[in-house]
Amino acid sequence: MEEEQKKKEEAARLAEEQKKKEEAARLAEEQKKKEEAARLAEEQKKKEEAAQLAEEQKKKEEAARLAEEQKKKEEAARLAEEQKEQEAVTSVYYENCDAVRAAGAAPVYEGSPGYGKHLDRDGDGIGCDK
């Protein structure tokens, strides 16, 4: 009988040990799942951050492109205005100061329409001033 009792106790001890091993395995599996979920969440967070940074970079590049485009438009407008001014200066021609006075344009200043060095005897930038 005593041996039977020992066998029962041994079986109970082994069953308890088995139960503890199973519980430890279950807890280890739960821990593994938690770590995997945390790793996946971290990966997702990094992907989202990378996407956000890429979007910000894209916006910066677009803003730089638009600024460059605006700068080119302004430069083109400035050049067109200079061309227009140059055409105005060269499109009026006076043969002599009598022609300037007859047109009511005397005196004519350097840079203004109709000015020419042949009208500025003293070279001071003012033609037909006398």
Task: State pLDDT tens for residues 94-116.
Answer: 999 999 999 998 899 998 888 89
Per-residue pLDDT averaged across 57-75, rounded?
96
Asked whether the beta carbons of 126 and 114 are under 8 A apart, the reply is: no
| Verdict on whether the full-model pTM lies above 0.75 | no
Task: Compute and round to an integer the Cα radius of gyration of the chain.
Answer: 47
Q: How far apart are CA 98 and CA 85, in angstroms?
A: 24
pLDDT in tens, 1-29: 788 888 888 888 999 999 999 999 999 99
Query: Which tokens go with 7?
Result: 């066998």
Sign of the C-alpha dihedral, residues 96, 84, 111, 117? negative
Q: Tally Cβ neighbours within 10 Å of residue 77.
A: 10
- Report the alpha-carbon angle 57-59-62, nearest 5: 110
